[in-house]
Every structure is written in structure tokens, then in C-alpha cells.
A and B are shown apart, each in its own frame.
Chain A
Amino acid sequence: MEPVSTGAYVIVSAILFTIGVLGVLIRRNAILMFMSVELMLNAANLALVAFAREYAQVEGHVLTFFVMTIAAAEVAVGLALIVAIFQSRETINVDELSDLKQ
């Protein structure tokens, strides 16, 4: 089976990353914004693994491994925060969080 070129994977990852960025900018729901961030991290991981094969190195895999672990750590804190917010306001729409505007 002929391997697909690295460039193709990088283009796919760039598209996924962009969709993630759009998600954060367009959606106002904290959980959805957070899921979009996960998509961005995931896109970066795809690029890393593709480049790792390009250079026949394992470094890219290790980096991906760290990114995944840190994503898990972020999820733990982020979801705890979202639950705390929801308990006190019954909304997780970031537009409605505006106590701090003057």
C-alpha cells in the first residue's frame, strides 16, 4: 500500500484546526467552546504524528503523548469549573457571564 504523503495529512490537520478555531469564536456555549479546543489539540496531534513519520523519529509521538495527557488534565479542571458555574447560574453561555463588564 502506497503511503500517503505527509503534506496531505498536514492539510487535513490544518482544516480540522481551523474548524476548531471557528468553533471557539462562533459558539457561545462553554462546553462546546471547550470541545472545539479539544479538536484543535487533536489537529495538532495529527500534524505531529505525520511529521514524526516524515522524519522516522519517535519524538513526534512522545509530544503527542504529552499533549493528550495535558488535554486530560485540562478537561478535569475545565469541567469542574463548568459544573460550578452551572450550579450557581444555570447557564453556561459565556455571553451571559457579564458581571464584570463596566
Chain B
Amino acid sequence: MDVPTLESLNLIVTWPAVGLGLWACVLLLLDLFVPKEDKFATAFLAEVAVILCFALNFRLFRLKPERMEAFGGMYVADGFTTFVNMVVLVAVFIGILLSFEYLRRAGIQRGEYYPLLLISAGGAMLMAAGRDLVILFVGLELLSIPLYIMAGLRHRTSRASEESAIKYFLLGAFSSAFLVYGVALIYGATGSTNIGEIAGAVKAGVLASGAPLDSLLLALGAGMVLVGLGFKIAVAPFHMWTPDVYQGAPTSVTAYMSVVAKVGGFAGLVRLFATAFPAIGGVAYWQTGAAVLAGLTMIVGNVAALAQSDIKRMLAYSSIAHAGYLMMGVAASATPVVREDAVNAALFYLLAYAFTNLGAFAVAIAVERDDGAGTRIDDFAGLGKTRPFLALAMALFMFSLTGIPPTAGMVGKFLLFRAAVQADLVWLALVGLVTSLFSAFYYVRVIVKMYLEEGAAQAQPVRSYLGAAVALAALGTFIFGLLPFDPASLVQGVMLLVGG
């Protein structure tokens, strides 16, 4: 029996994710000593842990560790993992900043919120790092279950919150059952759950035992995993739950889950599809499926967003549309020569999306009233006069979501479209371009409301934490859109550790 030692587990490279989970457990105990009226200390301690994990993760990102594998090959800390970790940690940092004030105003200041937030962030990070289908599955649950709870946190006072939670829960459980069945079929076809071994079996066409690979069973399994993860990241036609859930959940939770659930889901999807099912000459067989999903998602998301009058619902459809753009990167990564570019583009887009979307939701929180009303787009009328800085930041976020320079969203879209064209998916890039133009209608409508229409936008007096969240998000959106060097160089060296 090989008993693992600390040496062989190689714990140090896993600390950003594992440490966050452990700190969540400790924080739960420390929270008992924090008075119920003011949970500032709990939020502060959570932020400290996020900063420490970020520092350690940044170090791992810069100095590539020699041994990237940990826990006997279950966890791999390559450039992909560390970059995703950074995106998640940035999102958690901003997420806690904007939560603290929102929770107090909504009267749901609960200490359990912050440990749950950290646990779900740990789940997203493990999904990116997992080199085994077990980790992918458990990571997904670790990401989702705290989100179900957080979505229902306001259920005592808001019927919308409990409705959102139960819908999210039922759809989430349904989709993870698909994922599990897909994992079972992949295991049946390849005889392994290790992504490296699966890739080996796919390349060789035979299993370790010498039996031929059952490619139909494998394709079926891969399809079901795609369905399962597609629900999580809200890809059409599995997106139906998104608007209801995003609208009903407490806004701080919506902000957080719209970013972190998407980052985790995409990281798992890319990790699995780009490494475990490589192309055997030409392009990988799943490219067409992914491309069709991407096109459909972009169209559905953007068209439906046009008709929305609630800002949370509008941002929900917009997040579906952005899942479509990201899916375009996944589809492009099926072509071996552009795989690296496509993955880099998708990663950069995730970073841009994280800053922009969190920022947009932070402004929505500032405009929202204590009882949860004030989320209509009409409530933004006149914000340009009453709150010039908030309105300016919101305009920047709307530009970034549309893809207008100088914003991170524009750079991300450029990289994704370029990858799609390189992968001979010109039609998909065109769909992306046209839907982006289309999306300008509803994003710019918010800006028009804020500046050109008269109204008394009743933004709450913004406290420093929420203000800091908006400022940080705006700074990120702006800086990553202005990088003087080739933006791709930021994500260079973000290489997938290909299995084998």
C-alpha cells in the first residue's frame, strides 16, 4: 500500500484552493465570536484569506513550480489553473466587498455567508485544477451547493429569493446527474477517470487493457458532460433557468454566481475537452457541436436581452450571450493549431467578464432599494446627474459588455473572434460580430437612460466598500482594455498541461 507522504502530495502548489476551503471552515468557528449585529470582522477575515491566497497564487503563476502535480496527479497547478485561480480570487475579493453592504441593507447579515462564498470559490478553483473526473464532479458540487443556499438566503422576506433558490437547485441537481452519467460512460469507454489516461486512450484508440476504444460510448459520455456543464454555464438551449434565478437571488449573490459559476464551469469544460478529447488528425469531432451551441447561445441571449426592463434580468440574458462568446473559444480550441490561442483568448475573456459583470452588478446594488425594489432599468434614469461617478462607471461596464474600446471586453472579444477565424469558423465569428452590434441596443439603452432622460435615480448613499468594489471593477475593465503591449502576452505561458 502506497501511503502518501506530505512530500508526495506536493501540498504547496494546491494551497490557493485548499487553503481557501480550510479557511472557510476556520472562519465558520471564528464567526461565533463576531457579534450578530455587525459582521464586518467575518468579511474582513475572509478578505485577508483571499489576499493571502492571491499572493501565493501569483507567485505560483510567475515562477512555474517544477512539480506541478499534486495529490498523485489529481490536481495540477499549471498556468491554466493559476490563471483561473487569479480570476476567481479577484471575483471573490470584489464579491465580498459588494456583499457586505448589500447584506446589511437587505437585513440578511449572516456570518455563514462568507464561509459559503469561500467554499464555492474553492470549488471553482478545483474544477480548473482537477485532472480527474472525480475532482471535476466534486468541484462542481462544491461550487454549486453553497450557491443554492446563498440564492435562498433572503427567503424569509422575499418570495422571489426562495423561488430562485428552488429553481436553481432543481436544475442544478438535474444537470449534475447528467454530468455523473456522462462521467460513467466516459469511464466505461476508456477504463479510467484520469484525464491524462483518457487522452492517451483516445489518441491510441485502444485501452490500457488492449481492448478497442468504444468511440460511440465515449461520444455519448462527452455529450452528456457537455449538457451537464452547459446547464451550469447557461448555454442555450439549457439556459431557461438563468433569468429567474438571477432576478430572484439576492443581488450580491447574483453578481458572484454570474461570474464564479461561469468561470468554474468553463474552466472544467476547457480542461476536459481540450485535453482529454484531443483531435486525431484534423479537428476534434466535438467542434461542430460546440460551435452550434455557441452560435445559438449568442443569438438567444442577445435577442432576449433586448426585451427586458429589469436590470438583473437584462444582465442575466447578457450573461447567457457571453457564455456564447466563451463557447466560441471552446469550439475554436478543437483545432489543434489554434488551441493555445483559443484557450488564452477564453481565459482573457473570463478575466474581462469578471471585472465588468461584477462592476455592473455593483452599480445595480447601489441603485437597488433596501426592500429589493428599484431594479428596473427605468430606475437608472437621471443617474448621470445625481451620481456622476456611478453613472460613469456603469457606462464603462456597458461599453465593455458591448465590446467598445477602450475596455477589457473589447480586447477579449477581439481575441476570441481572431481565434475563431483562425480555426476556420468564420461563420461563427460573423454571428458573434453581428450579435455584438445587436447587443449595443440594450447596453446603450442603459447609458441613454442615465444621461439623457430626466428622472430622480434614487441611488443609496454609497458607502466606501461598495464604492471600492465599483472602483476596482472599473479600474480592471479600463486597464486591461488599454494595455500598451499585445494583450495576449498577459496570458502567455498559460499553457495546458497536456495529459499523457
Residues of A within 8 A of B (CB): 6, 10, 13, 17, 20, 24, 30, 33-34, 37, 40-41, 43-45, 47-48, 50-51, 54-55, 57, 59-60, 62-63, 66-67, 70, 73-74, 77-78, 81-82, 84-85, 88-89, 94, 97, 99-102
Stretch at the interface among B163-171, B446-454, B484-492: B163-171
Q: Are B166 and A102 in contact (CB under 8 A)?
A: no
A43 CB contacts on chain B under 8 angstroms? 181
Distance A100 CA – B149 CA, assembled complex (angstroms): 19
Residue with the highest number of chain B CB atoms closer than 10 Å, among A51, A62, A89: A51
Q: Is B378's beta carbon under 8 Å from chain A?
A: no
Distance A64 CA – B231 CA, assembled complex (angstroms): 22
A6 CB contacts on chain B under 8 angstroms? 188
CB B142 to nearest CB in A, in angstroms, measures: 9
Q: Are B187 and A59 in contact (CB under 8 A)?
A: yes
Stretch at the interface among B154-162, B349-357, B379-387: B154-162
Q: Are B187 and A48 in contact (CB under 8 A)?
A: yes
Q: A63-B193, A74-B173, A77-B148 are in contact. List 20 more A-B contacts (CB 8 A).
A: A10-B188, A30-B166, A33-B174, A34-B173, A37-B177, A44-B180, A47-B185, A55-B209, A63-B183, A70-B141, A73-B145, A74-B176, A81-B166, A81-B169, A88-B155, A88-B162, A99-B160, A100-B248, A101-B244, A102-B308
A-B complex: 6 closest residue pairs judged by Cβ atoms: A40-B177, A51-B188, A47-B184, A44-B180, A44-B181, A100-B244
CB B416 to nearest CB in A, in angstroms, measures: 31
The range of chain B's interface size is 35 or more
Tell me the residues in window 453-497 of chain B with beta carbons closer than 8 Å to chain A beta carbons: none
Tell me the residues in window 90-149 of chain B with beta carbons closer than 8 Å to chain A beta carbons: 133-134, 137-138, 141, 145, 148-149
- Number of A-B residue pairs at CB separation under 8 A: 122
Could you list 13 A-B pairs, sorted by A, with CB under 8 Å? A6-B188, A47-B181, A50-B188, A51-B187, A59-B193, A63-B134, A66-B134, A70-B141, A74-B145, A78-B170, A84-B152, A94-B170, A97-B167
B148 CB contacts on chain A under 8 angstroms? 77-78, 81
Residues of B within 8 A of A (CB): 133-134, 137-138, 141, 145, 148-149, 152, 155, 159-160, 162-167, 169-170, 173-174, 176-178, 180-181, 183-185, 187-188, 191-193, 209, 243-244, 247-248, 308-310, 313
B176 CB contacts on chain A under 8 angstroms? 70, 74
CB B165 to nearest CB in A, in angstroms, measures: 5
Residue with the highest number of chain B CB atoms closer than 10 Å, among A34, A44, A73, A78: A44
A81 CB contacts on chain B under 8 angstroms? 148, 152, 162, 165-166, 169
B165 CB contacts on chain A under 8 angstroms? 81
Question: Per a CB cutoff under 8 Å, which of B159, B160, B163, B181 touches A40?
Answer: B181
Distance A60 CA – B247 CA, assembled complex (angstroms): 39
Q: Are A48 and B184 in contact (CB under 8 A)?
A: yes
Known A77-B145, A89-B159: A54·B167 in contact at CB below 8 Å: no
Known A70-B141, A84-B152, A94-B167: A24·B187 in contact at CB below 8 Å: no
Residue with the highest number of chain A CB atoms closer than 10 Å, among B145, B165, B184, B308: B184
B183 CB contacts on chain A under 8 angstroms? 44, 63
CB A12 to nearest CB in B, in angstroms, measures: 13
Known A77-B169, A81-B166, A82-B166: A67·B145 in contact at CB below 8 Å: no
Distance A13 CA – B182 CA, assembled complex (angstroms): 12
Distance A41 CA – B167 CA, assembled complex (angstroms): 19
Residue with the highest number of chain B CB atoms closer than 10 Å, among A6, A17, A34, A97: A97
B134 CB contacts on chain A under 8 angstroms? 62-63, 66
Shortest Cβ distance from A33 into B: residue = B170
CB A41 to nearest CB in B, in angstroms, measures: 5
Question: Per a CB cutoff under 8 Å, which of A44, A74, A82, A102 touches B184?
Answer: A44
CB A44 to nearest CB in B, in angstroms, measures: 4
